[in-house]
Amino acid sequence: MTDIDYKLEAVPATRIAADDIDKTFRSSTIDLISGALGGKVLGFSDEWFAEAANLLTPTAPIRQPGKMVYTGAWYDGWETRRHNPAEFDWVVIRLGVASGTIEGVEIDTAFFNGNHAPAISVEGCFSQNDDEVLSWKGERGGWETILGVQECGPSQRFGWKLESPTEKQYTHVRLNMYPDGGIARFRLFGHAVPVFPDDTDAIFDLAAAQNGGVAISCSDQHFGTKDNLILPGRGKDMGDGWETARSRTKGHVDWTIIRLGAPGYIQNFIVDTAHFRGNYPQQVKLQAIEWKSEGEPGADAEGWTEVVEPIKCGPDQEHPVESLVKDKPFTHVKLIIVPDGGVKRLRVFAKRAV
């Protein structure tokens, strides 16, 4: 791809093997453009064969061999017409958070073989004006390079970790596909830069992904990822919560740890088992810690404090509970489910420890 006239900055980035993408990014960042988080496609050059909005679907791509629609074979992704007269097709996406800094990119061409995107690049901007951003279409406009042109191949995951995370915050990104073809999923890994209330006594959800919360680790996520716990809303079905495998050992518990968007004085929690009707936990416990050491706290780290009485869970409902420790700042919360099961959302309402 050396004959491209639309020149981009050569941003240093390391290619991440497909099997290493999740462990590289999922414990320290969030997908800033996930449709579940509120990421939204604002515009595109073309989506003749498959809709650009599919790029932001949080679940893995699927295949339905033999399924045909008006435009041709059905694909779970974004696919444009052949013979693009421009250098690239493009799609403009507004992040699902107020703004964010970027650490890495994933492009998944699953099931696109012979019609996959040969190469991509990613650009970003900071703007409060969606219409202005869209007016740039496939031109230079106010776009800045996040990831320069990278080659792709058929039906596989491609990941790139930026050598230096962006210092600048972005509100929008443009994915460029050279010259046309199909991409199943687009992930933009980074950190939300929240807009906190000016009132330091304001109480709000410090675990929420939009407010900088990150689910950093868990014991198990066999049926549903820990990252779902901090998404907005109550979801649409059992598939967008955190759910573990059935345990067969006496005394078993599962857990997940969430780093709050800022240190805070926790006032109350909501544990939501929405849509989990026959597989909710018997009981939930909550612990918190003020972590000042390097890295992140493990489940067995010294200093975890019980912050609520054990909660007896019921199906498909919110379980509100007051914090027992409201005058001590915490940085992380550990959700423990007994013995296993599914939880849709965890809300941690707190005042920032300013």
Q: What is the pLDDT of residues 158-207, one digit of tens each?
A: 999 999 999 999 999 999 999 999 999 999 999 999 999 999 999 999 99
Q: Which of 152, 171, 169, 172 is nearest to 160 (CA)?
A: 152
Q: CA–CA separation, 112 vs 124, rounded Å? A: 26
Q: How confident is the model at residue 300 (pLDDT cuts 50, 70, 90)?
A: very high
Only one residue has tokens 């406009």, namely 141
Q: CA–CA separation, 78 vs 55, rounded Å? A: 6
Mean pLDDT across the chain:
97
Token pair belonging to 99: 């703004």
Say which DSSP state 35 is in: T
DSSP element (H, E) containing 25: helix 21-25
Token pair belonging to 176: 């460029």
| Percentage of the chain lying above the pLDDT 90 cut | 98
Q: CA–CA separation, 165 vs 167, rounded Å? A: 6
CB-based contact 105:185 (threshold 8 Å): no
The predicted pLDDT at position 1 comes to 64
- Per-residue pLDDT, averaged over 333-353, amounts to 98
- Please give the backbone phi and psi of residue 90, each rounded to the nearest 5 degrees, phi first: -145, 155
Residue 106: pLDDT over 90: yes
pLDDT, tens digit (0-9, with 9 covering 90-100), for 70-98:
999 999 999 999 999 999 999 999 999 99
Cβ atoms < 10 Å from Cβ of 312: 11
What is the β-pairing status of strands 144-151 and 214-218?
unpaired
Q: How confident is the model at residue 257 (pLDDT cuts 50, 70, 90)?
A: very high
Give the DSSP per-residue string, 301-339. Answer: -TT-EE-SPPEEP-SSSEEEEE-S--SSEEEEEEEEEES
Q: CA–CA separation, 26 vs 21, rounded Å? A: 8
- Per-residue pLDDT, averaged over 326-342, amounts to 98
Cβ atoms < 10 Å from Cβ of 179: 19
pTM for this entry: 0.94
DSSP element (H, E) containing 343: strand 342-343
Q: How confident is the model at residue 4 (pLDDT cuts 50, 70, 90)?
A: confident
Residue-range domains of the chain with CATH = 11-191 (2.60.120.260), 201-350 (2.60.120.260)
